[in-house]
């Protein structure tokens, strides 16, 4: 116990004291934020205002369409998607300049085509009476139109036509508006006897963020464990260590020490994220939907730790059976495959958390850290399943640690054998001379 | 040919007090790696107090033997006992180990590293800190205590490693080639420390292939070849057993005594100085009588065989 503690302490302190740990811990959240925010900023900033021309046979109709377009924002109507909160909910007048052109001639068409090519305008909507009669209008532009923009244009045009047709039948604009109001379906999930609003968009985000944390941390710290096993082997300090502590003590101290470094880092990140992001997040309507209950947090900590232990033990084994880092990285795919498979299984887990395939997969120790955790967030599985997956996971980790500690020792032997064979040949020559 | 003095046997009160008549005993120990037999039926016993030399050509099985005594690898068969008990983990805290290749964490500070090694061997942090200071003073490392290991020269790292091996005041100290990498001045400091520890009753197992060191430092040796002990025991006895077969004679006069085939197997005459290799079973005293009868002798010295000669002789025979 004392030896494990000493080795744990050394691993932890030596890592936490390095400059690279400090830099990574402090800068990583900043870099992540920049990486997440920049593409969205570029998408809106880069293009500026779009210049659009509506070509129509009757100017009045064109103006009505323009008015309709300007009053309806370009957005999907899934309000639960927090991703759309920033980019797509801008007002149309900030995004578009719309002009009405009342000469739908072939000559005008070629003029507009040239303007598009010359970047004078960004596109034009061919909205002649003929086109309307065939209920098919055409949008010309340099770039392929996004799905959201296409339905935005289509809906605006249909709305104007419907209103015109209704008013021709003597219905007032206000009445028409009321009639045309679309019906929205609000999803309500029933969880443990209580109603929970929302379609689970925030929850989806939560799963993705937490799973990415597990995934990245396992890879990052697993490789770190592998490197440190290799270092001890090649520097031969392993011989001194094995003369003082058992290989199981060494392995346990190392895994826990590196794991504690990872937890420290994640804790710092969570605190940083809390300080920076909570005030702005709290005002978001989806915030209350996040499953940050103590139970889910505990599940995260538990599955994170066990997942880390499982995979880093495998990394330590690879470190013990190889002699260089290159060799080690070639064998790494053995570890990455189950991790990637777990990530692929996330969508089925979120859609059908009760299906037999999902239940069985989430019980297998190599997938459990990600899949069982995801199931707990989506829809709490029966207690026996959680306990069974935990028991299997703990058993596998314990078995792997014992196995790996043995391989650790054999690893030293492999080194010794390789080193001595050429020496024997040399010695034979020397003895004969 | 150099005349060699066998070091006096160290008999110390401490060594007797430690109880067991032997510090380390191996009997019929065998270790194979796949097809390759590293150690085959090796038996040796190391008495407490003193320096024991483990000799042998490269690949003879020295390192495997040491690793088995250190409990790093387990013998396939045979018994290892230390201080009169079968080898167990509990003994490890009384062992100090200096492996042949440097084994230190490069990024750790010298002081932290020594503290870590001392604590692993059961010392309290405070005790380890006090001890490492006095050791570092002795080896002139005090100025380097807060430097990282990788900033130190190889020789300095070697000294750090040595301190790490003896910080916990072990009863048995196993050193694999401890002098390699040390400059002459530091080699002298290390030699003095080793002799001092041996005198205070510690058992030191020294593995090396440098014969001159063994001749000067060790009281007993084991010469391993092909994983077998080809020679084992008290160095003086071994040399006596190998016989005093060379005689140096400085003479003036008749050199007829050199022709006596019964006594002289071969000789190398330099005029008035000759090196004689005695015939098997010949007595040097007889040659002395014969030579002094006809010539004036300025010097007649029976040379002890050097360990190197014995080594080449024994290893040559066992390979034949």
Instruction: Give chain B positions within 8 Å (CB) of A243.
Output: 70-72, 92, 95, 97
Same domain, B187 and B140: yes
Whether residue B209 is found in the same domain as residue B63: yes
Q: Do A427 and B58 make contact, defined as CB atoms within 8 angstroms?
A: yes
Q: Is the pLDDT of residue B20 over 90?
A: no
**Least confident stretch, A57-61, A70-74, A384-388, B311-315:** A70-74
CA A269 to centroid of chain Cα atoms: 16
What is residue B51's three-state secondary structure?
strand
Is B42 a domain residue?
yes
Residues of A in contact with B34 (CB under 8 A): 417
Angle between helices A247-282 and A383-432 (to 10 degrees): 140
Residue B318 in any domain: the answer is: no
What is the nearest CA distance from B229 to chain A, expressed in angstroms?
16
> What is the Cα B190 distance to its own chain's centre?
14
- pLDDT surpassing 90 at residue B285: no
Q: Report the pLDDT averaged over residues B124-143.
A: 92
- Tell me the C-alpha distance between B101 and B84, whole Å: 30
Specify whether B167 is located in the same domain as B201.
yes
Does residue B234 sit in the same domain as residue B274?
A: no
Check CB contact under 8 Å for B97 and A10. Answer: no
Indicate if the pLDDT at residue A273 is higher than 90.
Answer: no
Domain that holds residue B268: 245-303
Q: Which residues of A touch B (CB under 8 A)?
A: 2-3, 6-7, 10, 14, 18, 231, 235-246, 409, 412-413, 416-417, 420-421, 423-424, 426-428, 430-432
Please give the average per-residue pLDDT across A352-358, as a whole number.
83
Residue A9 pLDDT: 92
Considering the domain architecture, whether residues B222 and B256 belong to the same structural domain is answered as: no
Q: What is the pLDDT of residue A422?
A: 41
The answer to whether B35 contacts chain A (CB < 8 Å) is no
B194-214 pLDDT, tens per residue?
999 999 999 999 998 788 888
- Which candidate, B135, B139, B131, B134, places its Cα nearest to that of B186? B139
Which residues of chain B make contact with A416, given a CB cutoff of 8 A?
A: 33, 63-64, 67, 73
How far apart are the CA of B230 and the nearest CA of chain A, in angstroms? 14
Closest CA to A4 of A253, A259, A248: A253
CATH of the domain at B276: 3.30.70
Nearest to A423 among B59, B97, B102 (CB): B59
DSSP bridge pairs for B203: B50, B172
User: Of chain B residues 243-282, which have a CB less than 8 A from chain A?
Assistant: none
- Answer for the pair B172, B24: CB distance below 8 angstroms, yes or no: yes
pLDDT at B188 over 80: yes
**Of B257, B295, B253, B297, which Cα lies nearest the Cα of B278?**
B257
Confidence of residue B259 (pLDDT cuts 50, 70, 90): confident
Of the CA atoms within 13 Å of residue B212, those in its CB half-sphere come to 5
For residues A406 and B120, the model is more confident at B120
Under the banding of pLDDT at 50, 70 and 90, the label for residue B63 is: confident
| Strand pairing category for B24-33 and B36-46 | antiparallel
Mean pLDDT of A64-80: 67
For range B62-71, the mean pLDDT: 87
Please list every residue in chain B whose beta carbon sits closer than 8 Å to the beta carbon of residue A246. 89
Whether residue B91 lies within 8 A of chain A, CB to CB, comes out as: no
Q: Tell me whether residues A237 and B60 touch, CB distance under 8 A.
A: no
Contact of B97 with B63, CB cutoff 8 Å: no
Chain B contact set for A250 (CB, 8 A) = none
Q: Is the pLDDT of residue B193 over 60?
A: yes
First to last CA, chain B: 26
Helix (H) / strand (E) containing B95: strand B95-98
Domain tally for chain B? Answer: 2
pLDDT of residue A88: 45
Answer yes or no: is pLDDT of A85 > 60.
no
Tell me: pLDDT of B21 over 60: yes
Q: Are B220 and B233 in contact (CB under 8 A)?
A: yes
Task: Provide the shortest C-alpha distance from residue A24 to chain B (in Å).
Answer: 18
Q: What is the mean pLDDT of residues B139-155?
A: 90
Residues B204 and B153 in one domain: yes
Tell whether B282 and B135 lie within a shared domain: no
Q: Average pLDDT of chain B?
A: 84
Domain with CATH 3.40.190.10 in chain A: 49-182
pLDDT band for B41, please (50, 70, 90 cuts): confident
State residue A80's pLDDT score.
42
A394: distance to nearest CA of chain B, Å? 28
- Phi first, then psi: what are they for A290, rounded to 5°? -60, 140
CA distance B316 to B300: 30
Q: Which option is the CATH number for A49-182: 3.40.190.10, 3.30.70.20, 3.40.50.2300, 3.40.50.300?
A: 3.40.190.10
Across the A:B interface, residue pairs with CB atoms under 8 Å apart total: 97
Structure tokens at A351: 């859609």
Closest residue to B58, CB basis, from A239, A417, A423? A423
| C-alpha distance from A308 to closest chain B C-alpha (Å) | 24
Same-domain pairing of B128 and B249: no
Instruction: Tell me if B132 is assigned to some domain.
Output: yes
**In this complex, which of B72, B104, B119 lies closest to A242 when CB atoms are compared?**
B72
Where residue B258 falls (left for φ over 0; alpha for ψ -120 to 50; beta otherwise) is alpha
Between residues A417 and B158, the one the model is more confident about: B158
A199 against A130, higher pLDDT: A130
Residue that wins the pLDDT comparison between A124 and A82: A124
Residue B33 lies in a domain: yes
Residue A287 reports pLDDT greater than 60: no
Q: Which residues is B86 bridged to in the sheet?
A: B81
* pLDDT-above-70 percentage for chain A: 79
Q: In what order do the strands lie in the sheet with B36-46?
A: B36-46, B24-33, B77-82, B85-86
Please state, in angstroms and rounded to a whole number, the distance separating the CA atoms of residues A217 and A232.
22
Give the B window 121-150 contacts with A, CB below 8 Å.
121-122
Q: Between A182 and A392, whose confidence is greater?
A: A392
> Would you say the pTM of this structure is higher than 0.95?
no
B2, part of any domain: no
Q: Does B103 contact chain A (CB < 8 Å)? A: yes
For A79, the token pair is 């309000």
* Contacts with B38 from chain A: Cβ below 8 Å: 420
- pLDDT score for B143: 92
- Asked if residues B174 and B92 have their Cβ atoms less than 8 Å apart, the reply is no
Question: Quick one: angle between helices A147-168 and A173-180, nearest 10?
Answer: 140
């Amino acid at each position: 116990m004392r030896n494990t503690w000493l080795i744990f302490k050394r691993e932890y302190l030596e890592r936490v004291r390095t400059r690279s740990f400090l830099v990574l811990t402090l800068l990583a959240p900043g870099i992540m934020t920049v990486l997440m925010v920049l593409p969205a900023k570029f998408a809106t900033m880069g293009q500026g205002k779009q210049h659009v021309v509506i070509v129509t046979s009757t100017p009045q109709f064109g103006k009505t369409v323009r008015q309709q377009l300007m009053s309806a924002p370009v957005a999907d109507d899934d309000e639960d998607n927090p991703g759309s909160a920033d980019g797509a909910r801008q007002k149309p007048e900030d995004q578009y300049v719309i002009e009405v052109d009342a000469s739908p001639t072939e000559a005008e068409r070629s003029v507009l085509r040239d303007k598009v090519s010359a970047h004078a305008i960004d596109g034009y909507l061919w909205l002649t009476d003929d086109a309307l009669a065939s209920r098919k209008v055409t949008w010309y532009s340099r770039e392929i139109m996004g799905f959201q923009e296409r339905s935005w244009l289509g809906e605006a045009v249909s709305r104007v036509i419907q209103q015109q047709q209704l008013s021709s039948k003597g219905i007032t604009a206000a009445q028409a508006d009321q009639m045309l109001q679309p019906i929205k379906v609000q999803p309500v999930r029933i969880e443990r006897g209580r109603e929970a609003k929302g379609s689970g968009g925030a929850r989806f985000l939560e799963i993705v963020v937490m799973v990415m944390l597990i995934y990245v941390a396992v890879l990052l710290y697993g490789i770190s464990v592998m490197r440190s096993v290799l270092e001890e082997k090649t520097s031969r300090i392993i011989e001194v260590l094995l003369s003082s502590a058992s290989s199981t003590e060494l392995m346990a101290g190392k895994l826990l020490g590196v794991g504690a470094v990872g937890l420290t880092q994640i804790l710092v990140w969570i605190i940083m994220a809390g300080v920076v992001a909570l005030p702005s997040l709290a005002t978001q309507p989806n915030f209350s939907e996040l499953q940050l209950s103590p139970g889910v947090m505990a599940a995260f900590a538990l599955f994170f730790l066990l997942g880390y232990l499982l995979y880093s033990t495998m990394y330590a084994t690879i470190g013990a059976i190889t002699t260089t880092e290159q060799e080690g990285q070639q064998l790494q795919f053995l570890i990455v495959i189950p991790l990637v498979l777990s990530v692929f299984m996330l969508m089925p887990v979120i859609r059908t958390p009760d299906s037999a395939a999902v239940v069985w997969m989430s019980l297998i120790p190599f997938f459990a850290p990600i899949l069982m955790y995801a199931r707990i967030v989506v829809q709490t599985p029966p207690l026996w399943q959680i306990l069974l997956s935990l028991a299997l996971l703990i058993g596998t980790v314990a078995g792997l640690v014992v196995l790996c500690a043995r391989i650790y020792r054999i690893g030293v032997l492999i080194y010794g054998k390789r080193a001595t064979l050429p020496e024997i040949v040399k010695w034979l020559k020397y003895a004969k001379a | 040919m150099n005349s060699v003095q066998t070091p006096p046997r160290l008999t110390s009160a401490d060594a007797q007090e430690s109880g067991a008549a032997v510090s380390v005993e191996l009997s019929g120990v065998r270790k194979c790696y796949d097809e390759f037999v590293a150690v085959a039926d090796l038996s040796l016993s190391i008495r407490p107090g003193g320096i024991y030399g483990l000799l042998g050509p490269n690949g003879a099985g020295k390192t495997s033997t040491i690793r088995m005594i250190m409990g790093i690898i387990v013998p396939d068969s045979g018994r290892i006992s230390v201080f009169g008990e079968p080898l167990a983990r509990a003994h490890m805290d009384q062992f100090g180990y200096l492996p042949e290749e440097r084994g230190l964490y490069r990024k750790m500070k010298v002081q932290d590293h020594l503290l870590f090694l001392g604590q692993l061997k059961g010392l309290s942090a405070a005790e380890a800190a006090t001890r490492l200071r006095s050791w570092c003073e002795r080896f002139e490392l005090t100025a380097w205590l807060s430097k990282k290991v990788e900033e130190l020269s190889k020789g300095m790292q070697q000294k750090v490693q040595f301190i790490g091996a003896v910080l916990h005041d072990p009863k048995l100290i196993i050193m694999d080639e401890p002098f390699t990498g040390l400059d002459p001045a530091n080699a002298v400091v290390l030699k003095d420390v080793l002799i001092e520890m041996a005198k205070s009753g510690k058992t030191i197992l020294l593995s090396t292939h440098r014969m001159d060191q063994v001749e000067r430092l060790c009281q007993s040796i084991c010469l391993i070849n092909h994983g077998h002990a080809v020679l084992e025991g008290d160095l003086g006895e071994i040399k006596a057993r190998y016989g005093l077969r060379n005689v140096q004679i400085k003479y003036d006069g008749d050199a007829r005594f050199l022709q006596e085939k019964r006594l002289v197997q071969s000789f190398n005459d330099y005029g008035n100085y000759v090196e004689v290799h005695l015939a098997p079973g010949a007595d040097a005293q007889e040659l002395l009588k014969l030579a002094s009868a006809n010539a004036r002798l300025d010097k007649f010295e029976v040379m002890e065989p050097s360990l190197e000669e014995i080594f080449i002789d024994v290893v040559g025979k066992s390979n034949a």
